[in-house]
Structure 1
Amino acid sequence: ESPVDAFNRPRHRGDFGLRIPPSRAEMTAFFAAWRQELGSARKYPVAVRNYVMAKTAYISGVRATELCLVRLGDLHWDNGQWGRFLVQGKGARGSGPREREAFMFAEGRELLWWYIEEVRGLFPDDALDPYAALFPSERLPAALGAEVAVAPPVCADTFRRSLRAASLAHLKGTVTVLFPHLLRHACATHNYESGMPLWDVQVLLGH
Structure 2
Amino acid sequence: MSGTPAVSDVPDELGRPVTDFIRHLASEKRHSPRTCDSYQRDLLRLAGWLAGSGQLAWQRVTNHDLRRYVATLSRAGLSGRSIARHLSATRRFYQFLLRERLATDNPALDIRAPKTGRRLPRVADVDQLSYLLDSPPEDPLEVRDLCMFELMYSSGLRLAELASLDVDTVDLRSGEVRVVGKGAKQRLLPVGRKAVASIRAWLPQRAGLANDGEKALFVSQRGERLSHRSIQARLSRWGITRGADQKLHPHLLRHSFASHMLESSGDLRAVQELLGHADIATTQVYTHLDFQHLARVYDQSHPRARRDSYHGKTNDENTSGQ
Note whether the superposition's TM-score is higher than 0.5: yes
Counterpart code for 1:69: S
1:30-50 Cα distance to aligned partner (Å, 9 max, x none): 1123x2xx22xxxx2222212
2:204 corresponds to 1:121 = no
Question: Cα offset for 1:69?
Answer: 1.0
2:101 corresponds to 1:29 = no
Counterpart code for 1:86: R
- Structure 1, unaligned runs of 5 or more: 1-9, 92-96, 140-150
Number of residue pairs matched by the alignment: 166
Question: Cα offset for 1:121?
Answer: 1.6
Paired residue for 1:133? Answer: 216
Question: Cα offset for 1:204?
Answer: 1.2
Conserved in 1, the CA contact under 8 Å of 2:179 and 2:188?
Answer: yes
Conserved in 2, the CA contact under 8 Å of 1:21 and 1:182?
Answer: yes
Counterpart code for 1:75: V
Secondary structure of 1:154's counterpart equals coil
Paired residue for 1:3? Answer: none
Considering only aligned residues, what root-mean-square deviation do their CA atoms show, in Å?
Answer: 2.4
Q: What is the distance in 1 between the residues matched to 2:273 and 2:193? A: 18
Q: What is the distance in 1 between the residues matched to 2:146 and 2:172? A: 21
1:13 to 79, 82, 93: 82
User: Using CA pairs below 8 Å that are at least 6 residues apart, which structure has the higher relative contact order?
Assistant: 1
Q: TM-score, normalised by structure 2?
A: 0.47
Paired residue for 2:170? Answer: 75
Question: Cα offset for 1:185?
Answer: 0.2
Q: Which has the larger radius of gyration?
A: 2
- Structure 2, unaligned runs of 5 or more: 1-78, 84-115, 278-322
Secondary structure of 1:100's counterpart equals strand
Q: What is the distance in 2 between the residues matched to 1:103 and 1:132? A: 21
Secondary structure of 1:137's counterpart equals coil
Question: Cα offset for 1:18?
Answer: 3.9
With over 3 angstroms needed to count, the CA separation of the structure-2 counterparts of 1:102 and 1:171, relative to structure 1, is: farther
Paired residue for 1:152? Answer: 224
1:84 to 165, 172, 176: 176
With over 3 angstroms needed to count, the CA separation of the structure-2 counterparts of 1:194 and 1:171, relative to structure 1, is: farther
Question: Cα offset for 1:168?
Answer: 2.1
Paired residue for 2:191? Answer: 104
Paired residue for 1:204? Answer: 274
Secondary structure of 2:265's counterpart equals coil
Question: Cα offset for 1:154?
Answer: 0.2
Q: What is the distance in 1 between the residues matched to 2:254 and 2:171? A: 22
Paired residue for 1:46? Answer: 141
1:64-86 Cα distance to aligned partner (Å, 9 max, x none): 1111111111112344xxx2111
Conserved in 1, the CA contact under 8 Å of 2:155 and 2:257?
Answer: yes
